Each structure stands twice: as C-alpha cells, then as structure tokens.
Amino acid sequence: MDGLTALAYRGYDSAGVAVWEGGEISLRKAKGRIDNLRAMLDKSPVSGKCGIGHTRWATHGEPSDVNSHPHTDSNKTLALVHNGIIENYLKLKEMLEKRGCVFVSETDTEVVAQLLGYLYRGNPLFALKQAVSLIEGSFALAILFADDPEAIYCTCKDSPMVLGHGDGESVVASDIPAILEYTRDVCFMQDRQIAVMRKDGISYYDEFGVSIEKTPTHIDWDVESAKKGNYEHFMMKEICEEPEAFRKTFEQYVSIKDFSLKAEKFPWDAARAKSMERLTIVSCGTAYHAGMLGKKFIEHMARLPVDVDIASEFRYSDALLKKGAPFMVISQSGETADTIAAMRRAKQLGCETMAVCNVTGSTISREAEHVLYTYAGPEIAVAATKTYLTQIIVMYLVALDLAEKRGEMTREQVAERLKKMQKVPVSMQKILDSRENIQFFASRAFAVKHVFFIGRGIDYALAMEAALKLKEISYIHSEAYAAGELKHGTIALIEDGSLVVALATQDELLPKIASNMEEVRVRGAHVLAVTNGRWEGAKGHSHEQWEIDRMDETLAPLCAIIPMQLLAYYLAVQKGCPVDQPRNLAKSVTVE
C-alpha cells in the first residue's frame, strides 16, 4: 500500500491488490482514490508474502471496481497488473472468446490475463514468452501465478519497469519512489526482457528465455525527498525546494571557482558547436515549454536557429531533418511515450540525439546518445515545478556554452552571466518567504473564471508554462497569449472580471506590453503585472504589480516562474482541488 501511495501520482482512478493467501489468490479492488482501497482492506484484510498492486489511470474502460487491476483469467490461475495499452486487444479478445474465455471487464489488460491463462500449461516462463510474442502495444506486467506462489513474473515493452534487489525481498514498480524505502539497488528492465522475482533474488531472461545477467544500479536519491514532510502538498514542498534544485543543477555544470562552464558536461566541442546549422528540440507539456524558453535563450545568446516541436506532432510529421543534425528531447521522467518515439524517429533519420532528463536509468536517458541531467531529485506532484526550473536552467547553460564555443560570447562575458545567475536562488527564496502575499491574492481571486497570461519574447514562453500550471491544477480556464497577438481575435474573450497576468520582465518591450495591458484593462480585465524590479510605467495600466528582484533580463524567467507556480497552487488550494493529483492527469504519460 505504501508503494501504491508513492505511485498515486501516476494514476488514481481506482486501485487494487492481489495476494497469494492460503492456497489461492485473494483480490481486493476499489474504484476511486487509494484511500478507498485502504478502507476496504481495513474491513477485509489480506495477508501473504507475495503480492501485486496497481493504481490505475483509465485508458480502456471507465474507472470502476471491475475494470480495476489486478485482472485474472477465468480459472484464476494467475492475476496481473499492467501499465500501458494493448493495441491488438480486440483481435485477441475475439480469438479468446471463440475458445471459451468469458470476459468480465472492458479493459485491454484482461485480454493479457485471459491469454496467459489460455497459454499456460504449467510453465509460467514459457506461457509469458508466448504471450509477449502475441501482444502488440506497450506494457509493463507483473504477474502472480497460483502454481508458483512465491514468485512474481515481470516483463515490459515501451513502459518503464524497475526491479529492486532488497535484503531477503525483491520489489518491482513502474517508478523508483515506490521502492526507495526497500532498496537502492535497482535494475531497469529493457524491452521484452523477463524477470522472475523471489525473496532471495531476481533471475533475468532475454525475450527468447535465455538467462542473462543484469548489474544493479545504485540510486542515491534521498528517501525523504520522496516524502511530503511537513508540507500539505508535494507541490508546495517541491516549489520550496527550487532554490536548492537550482544550486545543485548549477554546480553540476559550472565551476564556481572561476565561473566557467564545465566543457565536458556538454555534448559538443567548439568545432561541432560552430558547425551546427539548426537545433531541433522536441518534448511534451511543461517540457515543451522549457524547449520554447530554450529556443529564446539559444537564439539570443548563441545565435543558433532552434526549432521546437511537440513530440506527438513531430513523430508523425515529415521530419525534414538532415543526417547528423543535433536533436534534443526534454523529459523529466524520461518515460513519456511520445517523446521516446520522437527520439527513436530522429535516430532512424541519423540525427545526433541528446536528452535533458531528470531520471537516471530511464528509457530516454538510456537511449539518447548524450544526456544532460537535471538535478531536481524526485518530483511526486503531477504538476511539474522544480523539474521545469532545472530544465530551463540547463537550457540557459546550454545557450551560454554554445555561445562561447561558437564565438558569440567571450569567456569573460559568460563568467559575468554565470556570476549573476548564481545569485538567482537568493531572489527566489525572497519570493518564497513572502508567499502569503500570493496566498492573499488567491483568496480574493479564486472565483475568477478566465485567466490570460500575456507576454512578449521570453515572457511569452514563460506565460505558456504559467497558463498550463494554472489550468491543470485549479481547473480555471487559462490561456497564454503573445501580448501583441491578443487583439487579433482572443481579446473578444476579455470581459469584466477576467484576470490578465502581464509578464513584463524585458525592458525593451515594456512600452509595447504597456499598450497591451491598457487594451485589456479598458475592457474590464483585472491586470496584474509581474515585473523585473519596480516598473513605474505599470501604474495606470495595471491594478497590481508583483516584482521580482531586478536582474539581468535573460535570467528573469528563472525567478519569475516561482510566483506563477505559487499563484496556480494557491488558487487550486482555495478552490479545494486535489493539488498533487489533478483529475484526468498522470505524472508519466507512458501511453500515446
């Protein structure tokens, strides 16, 4: 149950467990949050030494008790949990129904359970090998066979799976936080490998059933960092960890004694940096927004053209990329299905792949030719906060490194920027220390129906992330708009009481954004300006002004994101939303 709770951020429509108990497999399943399952188990406990559990994010079949995992075959010879999507489930279901299988749920997962039960002739490994060759799609499967009650059989394809080698116990999960309490020595499963876990060890096999050796990796994440501590929500804890995450990531890439970049940390030398014609960045959601900001940094400082695309679009696009072109993905989890597919496509096209990633051992970090890690530590809340920050830090450092190696900035100019950059966490902390002001604003504003985040240039890229953060956790309709574009249509939505947050951190663009603020103010919007130090010009055009410490304009988004995340958080709390686990969302989107 603790493991499931640690994984609740991946899905929470329903939950269930199966335990081998007194000669048979006992099942408990409940629709809704994990607490419903916990209550059911309090009333009707199970006990045993070998079990599997699941917390679901529905893809096929509505959230309900019967659609919850674990699923069994008709004879209850096995129970299994599944993460992923079985694409040929209808074909398999038809074939199994013709052979007498009676299905009870609407899920694609039950098809795997029934298929395995149908193929099973007393040898779990053999049945599993056969089943894996027949199913198409993505899957991470953990299976309990009634005939082999002290073992769990596991396999996966295009879905993450991590196995922990504990002391007198073995554990498996789809993400590290669920097993950190039990062991730090883990192996990541590769596609179609099979593992058989027993309390005294784990045996690994390749897809042909041939025994293979795997060497565990030691995970040095702090257990506490995957716990909530004294915070009401993981999201607030993770926002408060941002100054620390900033320092950690910064120090990995920058040598503090002389404020120089650690050249070896970046996957290009000067010749390669100079020869680059274009960089393509592909990612999803918040990571896409980090890419958008990265584009601004890189184009501005390194004068290298950057294309940014959404992974789900890129993977089916014409992808006109040259052989050998640099191709970067950004993904905190390293497991986002579309991002993985986009990277594989780029590899096929002969691009040089690199990844900005937060999780060592994840699929993306294993498959990319080069990895630029972010050092945010585990992020549990569904909404990305500290991982976004560390992604944009890495993008900033990438821009500086490329600028220096391409001869667009001198080493001294880079050192100057880095010196300034090192001070940003102090300014971030100031905002965190006075966060009650934002809480107070939220207590007045939480009934707002529409929020528009407007900005130009760097501020527009930041606005995109601010709008996503707000809508995903507070369910308030919000949009990001390039400030100058608003009047080409969207301004029609502005009415009395709309909230417009004007991100105005770039001096040169202030007169322009002032006009845009005025356009919405006179149409009834409540205008909040977020500024880089005091901006007297905001008076008259806005109703309030939130200032960050005055800093180099290129650095401003690294700090200005904090009040935006806090605004989203406090509005969501005021509205009584489940901040860490917003409806319909899962942390790692391992399905297409």
- Per CB under 6 A, residues contacting ligand F6R are 284-287, 331-333, 336, 339, 383-384, 472, 588-589
Q: How far apart are CA 124 and CA 138, in angstroms?
A: 20
- Judged by beta carbon, residue 183 or residue 280, the one nearer ligand F6R is 280
Could you tell me the two tokens for 361?
């051992």
- Judged by beta carbon, residue 285 or residue 326, the one nearer ligand F6R is 285
For 359, the 3-state DSSP assignment is: coil
Sheet harboring 14-21: ordered strands across? 24-31, 14-21, 51-56
**Is the backbone of residue 496 left (phi > 0), alpha (psi -120 to 50) or beta?**
beta
Please count the residues of the chain.
Answer: 592
Q: How far apart are CA 480 and CA 305, in angstroms?
A: 23
- Judged by beta carbon, residue 355 or residue 442, the one nearer ligand F6R is 355
- Minimum distance between the CB of residue 382 and ligand F6R, rounded to whole angstroms? 6
- Judged by beta carbon, residue 38 or residue 347, the one nearer ligand F6R is 347
- Judged by beta carbon, residue 37 or residue 589, the one nearer ligand F6R is 589
- Minimum distance between the CB of residue 339 and ligand F6R, rounded to whole angstroms? 5
Q: How far apart are CA 515 and CA 321, in angstroms?
A: 40
- Judged by beta carbon, residue 343 or residue 400, the one nearer ligand F6R is 343
- Minimum distance between the CB of residue 319 and ligand F6R, rounded to whole angstroms? 19
- Judged by beta carbon, residue 105 or residue 138, the one nearer ligand F6R is 138
- Minimum distance between the CB of residue 45 and ligand F6R, rounded to whole angstroms? 36
Radius of gyration of the chain (CA): 25
- Minimum distance between the CB of residue 300 and ligand F6R, rounded to whole angstroms? 24
- Judged by beta carbon, residue 80 or residue 359, the one nearer ligand F6R is 359
219 Cβ partners below 8 Å, 6+ apart?
A: 176, 180, 184, 185, 186, 360, 361
Contact (Cβ atoms closer than 8 angstroms) between residue 573 and residue 442: yes
- Minimum distance between the CB of residue 377 and ligand F6R, rounded to whole angstroms? 14
* Segment (H or E) for 363: helix 363-367
- Single-letter amino acid code for the residue at 300: H
* Segment (H or E) for 425: helix 424-433
- Minimum distance between the CB of residue 504 and ligand F6R, rounded to whole angstroms? 24
- Judged by beta carbon, residue 398 or residue 403, the one nearer ligand F6R is 398
Q: How far apart are CA 335 and CA 284, in angstroms?
A: 11
Neighbour-count burial of 167, counting CB atoms closer than 10 A to its CB (0-12 exposed, 13-18 middle, 19+ buried) = exposed
Neighbour-count burial of 94, counting CB atoms closer than 10 A to its CB (0-12 exposed, 13-18 middle, 19+ buried) = exposed
**117 strand-pairing partners:** none
Report the residue closest to ligand F6R, judged by CB. Answer: 285
CA-to-CA separations, 580 to 51, 235, 384, 390, 592, in angstroms, rounded: 27, 6, 10, 19, 23
- Minimum distance between the CB of residue 221 and ligand F6R, rounded to whole angstroms? 16
- Minimum distance between the CB of residue 472 and ligand F6R, rounded to whole angstroms? 6
